Amino acid sequence: MIKEGDIVELLPTDNRNRQLRSQEKKYDWEVLTVGAPQCLAGRIGFLIKHLGSDHTRWVSDKDIKIRTYRENRYE
């Protein structure tokens, strides 16, 4: 289960994800929020932020996989 604070890898599931990975070298992202945004038609989505920049985007669970999980975010 993906939670806030986890570090995830953006998978090349569509053209924009492939572009972010190949041209901009944006592989690793941090999960900021888990919710059901309008852009995903009410399905569960994840607001992620690129490590090293301010770039954020909403993605579905098929677009990411866990790289590092955080057991306790409140330390």
Q: Using a CB cutoff of 8 Å and minimum separation of 24, what contacts does 19-27 make?
A: 26/50, 26/53, 26/55
What pLDDT is recorded for position 74? 56
Q: The pTM is what?
A: 0.89
State pLDDT tens for residues 4-35. Answer: 999 999 999 999 999 999 999 999 999 999 99
What lies within 8 Å, CB to CB, of 73 at 6+ separation is: 3, 4, 5
What pLDDT is recorded for position 58? 97
State pLDDT tens for residues 37-64. Answer: 999 998 999 999 999 999 999 999 999 9
What pLDDT is recorded for position 20? 97
